[in-house]
Structure 1
Amino acid sequence: MVVTGGARGIGAAIVATFAAEGARVAVLDRLAEDAERVAEAAGGRAYAVDLADVRATRDVTEKAVADLGGVDVLVNNAGVLRFGSLLELEPAEWDEVFAVNVRAMLVTTQVVARAMIAARTPSADSIGKVVNMASMGGKAGGAGQAHYAASKAAVIGLTRASAEELGPHGITVNCICPGYVLTEMGAGTRTAADVARWSARSPLGRLAEPADVARAALFLASSDADYLTGDALNVTGGMVTH
């Protein structure tokens, strides 16, 4: 399997969770040292890449698939979180977020789906799984999140379109919409008061741990989810319920 953004947080939890189930994992991330550490612990291999670079992303994904000897699962987890006033947002800031959060998914999905299709045998039904990381923000939005929320809404749209096109080839494509997750992303500005306020929005009274999202990804990549495609699964502790 291939995991983008697997060096930290949710991505690292996904790598560990899948490896525990016996998966051979290729970790793609620009944080080379962290990716190497996570991959080594999982018995996998790390590939340093700036996912905002289209050619590098394509080349590294192709190399990862070749080194694995084929691929049956892709988890597009990589993403950047940015905040900014709508009226002051610069187009370059918008493009930066979309380059990683959406465009990189297109590139990796193209590479991996082609490999899955090429490896399919006439008797194979479900041959591949693509799991994209969206966000509660892609459904609910929020002030100061115009570029981030729009990019995650685009991930949901890309997931649905990909599911339609790749379904006839036996490939399912779904996405996960996490809510507030206790990861390194945003930790520098997250206060105890923030955690308490956000936790109060969930009927469960807590925020997600990376493992909560990783287990959802594992389900979507398993045979138990063979008849799920084009879906956007909320992992929000009840903060979003539609």
Structure 2
Amino acid sequence: MSETTTSTSAAGRFTGTRVIVTGGARGIGARIAERFAAEGAKLAVLDRLSGPGLDKAASIGAWFGEVDLAEPESTRAAMSAAIGELGGVDVLVNNAGVLEFGTVLDTTVEAWDRAFAVNTRAMLLTTQVAARSMIDAGLGGAIVNLASMAGKYGGENEAAYASSKAAVIALTRVTALELGEHGIRANSLCPGYVLTEMGAATRTQEMIDLWSSYSPLGRLGTPDDVAGLALFLASADGSYLTGQAVNVTGGMIMH
């Protein structure tokens, strides 16, 4: 695991709040990290992409830890290192995820296991480490898990991905039920189609136009659309929200 430490002097509603963001090197995770940094948070970014991760961390004054979240022991070690570097943790944003495409008939065991290892099991492990630290500190905390619209309605050619994201929603609800007595809130976000680097290789302009037509707003989501709600759920303004799976879909689904 490689890391770097820098500092920031930004001020805002998260001044002094200790935040860990997984998958923060690019895409939605990077934008979430940027928004927290702009509002004064003390940040740790975890990602397997060391080059982009180090660059992003340096640009926003965050600590960076390189980790493959498919590896349980490395995940626990990276979380412990991040908490040690921050001096504790107040907010955990479980953003990291992988796309695995395949039909029910064609999905391989390897693709299924990879989707669940990164998209779901890693969230369990990071939550365990972070929540124990939050409980020991006695200050409560907030956990925001990135699920997906696919976790609510399914999706053709997404057997492993949609299933893993449905599991994220269930895990979030159990977390909220069990940790609420410690003042720890847990919510999940269910984005729809968001233009990020992760899906760039598999989409065409025709796909973008079609997906945009599914939204009453006539457009796809942006990382900022998701980041704004992630910060709300982590903030005092969201203090009575827990166990929710909040849609960020531009109205593509409304339940």
| TM-score strictly above 0.5 | yes
Query: What residue number does 2:219 align with?
Result: 206
Query: What residue number does 1:172 align with?
Result: 185
1:163 match: secondary structure: helix
Deviation string 1:24-78 (CA, Å, 9 cap, x unpaired) is 1100000011111111111011100000000000011001001100110000000
- Tell me how far apart the structure 2 counterparts of residues 132 and 215 of structure 1 sit (CA, whole Å): 14
1:16 Cα deviation from its structure 2 partner: 0.3
Query: What residue number does 1:59 align with?
Result: 77
Query: What residue number does 2:50 align with?
Result: 32
1:85 Cα deviation from its structure 2 partner: 2.2
1:103-182 aligned within 5 A: 103-120=121-138, 127-182=140-195
Deviation string 1:99-123 (CA, Å, 9 cap, x unpaired) is 0000000000000000001001xxx
Query: What residue number does 1:80 align with?
Result: 98
- Tell me how far apart the structure 1 counterparts of residues 31 and 193 of structure 2 sit (CA, whole Å): 15
- Tell me how far apart the structure 2 counterparts of residues 189 and 52 of structure 1 sit (CA, whole Å): 23
From 109, 117, 125, the equivalent of 1:99 is: 117
- Tell me how far apart the structure 1 counterparts of residues 172 and 103 of structure 2 sit (CA, whole Å): 28
Percentage of pairs with the same residue:
60
Mean Cα deviation higher: 85-94 or 59-68: 85-94
1:184 and 2:210 matched: no
1:191 Cα deviation from its structure 2 partner: 1.0
1:47 and 2:104 matched: no
From 17, 20, 25, the equivalent of 1:2 is: 20
- Tell me how far apart the structure 1 counterparts of residues 103 and 169 of structure 2 sit (CA, whole Å): 23
The one-letter code of the counterpart of 2:106 is: E
Q: Which runs of 4+ in 1 moved over 6 A?
A: none
1:88 Cα deviation from its structure 2 partner: 1.7
- Tell me how far apart the structure 1 counterparts of residues 113 and 100 of structure 2 sit (CA, whole Å): 12
The one-letter code of the counterpart of 1:110 is: Q
- Tell me how far apart the structure 2 counterparts of residues 88 and 57 of structure 1 sit (CA, whole Å): 30
The one-letter code of the counterpart of 1:180 is: Y
The one-letter code of the counterpart of 1:168 is: E
Query: What residue number does 2:3 align with?
Result: none
1:189 Cα deviation from its structure 2 partner: 2.0
1:89 Cα deviation from its structure 2 partner: 1.4
What TM-score results when the alignment is normalised by the length of structure 1?
0.97
Query: What residue number does 2:252 align with?
Result: 239
- Residues matched between the structures, number: 237
2:199 match: secondary structure: coil
Q: Which runs of 5+ in 2 are unaligned?
A: 1-18
- Tell me how far apart the structure 2 counterparts of residues 188 and 100 of structure 1 sit (CA, whole Å): 20
RMSD across aligned positions (CA): 0.7
From 171, 179, 194, the equivalent of 2:207 is: 194
Deviation string 1:179-208 (CA, Å, 9 cap, x unpaired) is 000000111121111111100110111000
- Tell me how far apart the structure 2 counterparts of residues 234 and 40 of structure 1 sit (CA, whole Å): 31
